[in-house]
Amino acid sequence: MQLNYHTLKNGIRLVHQQVVSPVAYFGVILNTGSRDEEKDEQGIAHFIEHVIFKGTKNRKAYHIISRIEDVGGELNAYTTKEETAVYATLLNEDYERSMELISDILTNSTFPEKELEKEKEVVIEEINSYKDSPSELIFDEFEEVLFDGHPIARNILGTPANVKKFSRKNIFDFIARNYHTDQIVLSSVGSLPFEKIIRYAEKYFGPIPEKRRTTKREGFYNYQASERIVQKDTFQAHCIVGNIAYDHQHPRRIGMVLLNNILGGQSMNSRLNLSLRERNGLAYNIESNYTAYSDTGEFSIYFGTDKENLDRAINLIQKELQQLKIKELGSLQLSKAKKQLIGQLAISSENREDLMLSIGKSYLLYDKVDSMKQVYRKIDQLTSREILEISNEILDQSKTSILIYK
């Protein structure tokens, strides 16, 4: 994987991977998200993601959409707790228009009042639809349990009351406080030569005034395990069990990724899927997830089951966790787990949109991007002893929080 890097004078960074393909992928990733909101701003980072497409000094909303879609491309965006991304997929011959358009969106959006009011209703409908899905809602509420009282605990969508209050001034204030040129990465995958990509980047992003970040995010330090049971009018019980975990920079992050994959990753042969679904028929969906943030992380196990099977399912999960805490993986088990994870990463890297977002995020966080060979080498270097130690630290029942909908 040959990557090329360039930094504009204003601090904006560019990473490009040249591939042989008629399709190109370009995105802008900003190191800001919902955890950067003030309490009365909850939901504004996500709201901005919606309304940046609603008009600029140069274009109306329809012209923004048409600029990419008229040539068969796609324009998209997302918001997480710590990042915002705007990105496009289109033919190589139309690459420049994607960079010009996204620059226009990010620097010249006018946020017309009429469009804001319409989009508020759209976002409120999104919030309401989310509330109708307990299997999704429980993840947000679990973060409220884990990170109680901290900005990272608040859900990304916000509340209807907050969304209704957002004004143009609120939007411009948030952007002014959080959009910094040294916290922006332009990420690109396509067959255009890097020299041409640099010219486009200098043309459309070079004129942005330099603005460096001088403040740090509020850290999270005071985790306490807790249990919460919420009565819900649902057919199933929904449950999440978990703990805080390693941040982006932690030396055991890769080991945590492997442990998560062994326990409840995407494969049908994960330990939890075999135990709860295949052997006992207690759950249709059982999964574990690990998310790393800049200064903390989260590990969780989610499942849904008939209410009368809830206690049995929890006991089976605790049994699997206990096994990982008391018994080192055998050499064959560890080898298979490593090979499985490496295979999954190799396959996912073939999705070039995901690849573009992945290298952009890596460059944003680490100021470098490991090659796939470097990543595989880190996985291969993991030992059974390390996995055992990580298990005892993260899967410690005394540190575990639990949230149940029943």
Exposure class string for 50-84: b at 16+ Cβ within 10 A, else e: bbbbbbbeebebeebeebbeeeebebebbbbbbbb
Residues 198 and 274 in one domain: no
pLDDT exceeds cutoff 90 at 130: no
Note whether 92 and 190 are within 8 A (CB): yes
| Arithmetic mean of pLDDT over the chain | 95
151 lies in a domain?
Answer: yes
Count of C-beta atoms within a 10 Å radius of residue 397: 13
Tell me 217's DSSP state: P
Residue 268: give its domain's CATH number.
3.30.830.10
pLDDT score for 294: 95
Residue 229, classed as helix, strand or coil, is strand
Count of C-beta atoms within a 10 Å radius of residue 191: 13
Q: Given the structure tokens 């959409």, which residue do they identify?
A: 65
Residues 268 and 131 in one domain: no
Last residue of a domain, one of 147, 171, 204: 204
The torsion angles phi and psi of 139, rounded to 5 degrees, stand at -65, -40
Domain count for the chain, please give it.
Answer: 2
Cα–Cα distances (Å) from 156 to 32, 162, 237, 259, 287, in that order, read 12, 12, 24, 27, 22
Residues 314 and 376 in one domain: yes
Residues 152 and 256 in one domain: no
pLDDT exceeds cutoff 80 at 146: yes
Assign 147 a pLDDT band (cuts: 50, 70, 90).
very high
Q: Which two tokens stand for residue 286?
A: 């059982």
pLDDT tens, 269-322? Answer: 999 999 999 999 999 999 999 999 999 999 999 999 999 999 999 999 999 999
Assign 17 a pLDDT band (cuts: 50, 70, 90).
very high
Assign 1 a pLDDT band (cuts: 50, 70, 90).
low
215 lies in a domain?
Answer: no
Nearest to 218 by CA among 55, 402, 36, 359: 36
**Mean pLDDT across 103-120:** 95
Range of the domain at 250: 227-405
**Mean pLDDT across 370-388:** 96
pTM listed for this prediction? 0.93
pLDDT score for 2: 82
Residue 298, classed as helix, strand or coil, is strand
pLDDT tens, 231-258? Answer: 988 889 999 999 999 999 999 999 999 9
Name the strand (E) or helix (H) holding 189: strand 184-190
Assign 266 a pLDDT band (cuts: 50, 70, 90).
confident
Assign 20 a pLDDT band (cuts: 50, 70, 90).
very high
Residues 199 and 309 in one domain: no
110 lies in a domain?
Answer: yes
pLDDT score for 21: 93
Note whether 158 and 258 are within 8 A (CB): no
Q: What is the rounded CA–CA span in Å between residue 318 and residue 205?
A: 51
Residues 35 and 177 in one domain: yes
In percent, how much of the chain has pLDDT > 90? 94
Nearest to 200 by CA among 182, 186, 179, 181: 186
Residues 89 and 180 in one domain: yes
Q: For 193-324, list the strands marked E by DSSP.
A: 227-230, 236-244, 286-292, 297-306
Q: What is the rounded CA–CA span in Å between residue 46 and residue 124?
A: 12
pLDDT tens, 36-94? Answer: 999 899 999 999 999 999 999 999 999 999 999 999 999 999 999 999 999 999 999 99
pLDDT exceeds cutoff 70 at 133: yes
Task: Give bridge partners of residue 177 from the DSSP assignment.
Answer: none
**Mean pLDDT across 160-185:** 96
